[in-house]
C-alpha cells in the first residue's frame, strides 16, 4: 500500500511524475493549438508547473501567458475548455482515472522579482555586508 503524505512532507515520486507528464502534454496541446478554442489559439501560454494532490484526483497547472498580459482572459479560456483538455491529457497518461485539471496563475516570476528587489534595499545590503565580516 502506498504511503500517504503527512501534512509536512512534500510530494511523492508518483505525484511528481504524473505532474510532469501532465505539464508536458498540456504544453504540447497549447503550443500546437490542439484545443478547439479560438481564444487559446491566439495565445502563447507557458505551463510552469503542475502539482498533483496526494490521491492524484486533482492536478493544478500553474500557467502564464507570454508577456504576462491577458491573464484573466487566458484563465477564462482554459477553464472553459477544461473538459476537452482533461480528455486530451488523459490519453497521454497511464493511470486509471484522469485528474481534474485546475488552472492558476504562475506567480513564480513575480516572487523572484520581489526577492531581488528586497536584496537591493539599503538595510538588507547593510545587514548582508555585516554578516560577511
Pairing, β 45-52 against β 100-105:
unpaired
Domain extents in the chain: 13-106
Cβ atoms of 40 and 78 within 8 Å: the answer is yes
Q: Count other C-beta atoms under 10 Å from residue 123's C-beta.
A: 8
Looking at residue 108, its pLDDT comes to 72
Looking at residue 5, its pLDDT comes to 46
Q: What is the pLDDT along the chain (133 residues), one digit of tens a residue?
A: 344 444 557 889 999 999 999 999 999 999 998 999 998 888 899 999 999 999 999 999 999 998 777 899 999 999 999 999 999 999 888 777 889 999 999 887 655 555 666 667 677 667 777 766 5
For 96, phi and psi rounded to 5 degrees?
A: -65, -45
CATH T-level topology, domain 13-106: GMP Synthetase; Chain A, domain 3 (3.30.300)
Whole-structure pTM value: 0.74
Looking at residue 114, its pLDDT comes to 59
Amino acid at each position: 500500500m502506498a504511503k500517504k503524505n503527512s501534512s509536512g512532507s512534500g510530494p511523492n515520486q508518483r505525484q511528481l511524475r504524473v505532474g510532469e507528464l501532465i505539464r508536458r502534454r498540456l504544453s504540447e496541446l497549447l503550443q500546437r493549438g490542439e484545443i478547439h478554442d479560438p481564444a487559446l489559439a491566439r495565445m502563447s501560454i507557458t505551463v510552469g508547473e503542475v502539482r498533483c494532490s496526494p490521491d492524484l484526483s486533482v492536478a493544478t497547472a500553474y500557467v502564464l501567458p507570454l508577456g504576462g498580459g491577458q491573464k484573466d482572459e487566458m484563465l477564462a479560456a482554459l477553464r472553459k475548455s477544461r473538459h476537452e483538455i482533461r480528455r486530451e491529457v488523459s490519453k497521454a497518461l497511464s493511470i486509471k482515472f484522469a485528474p481534474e485539471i485546475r488552472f492558476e496563475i504562475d506567480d513564480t516570476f513575480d516572487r523572484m522579482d520581489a526577492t531581488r528587489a528586497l536584496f537591493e534595499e539599503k538595510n538588507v545590503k547593510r545587514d548582508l555586508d555585516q554578516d560577511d565580516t
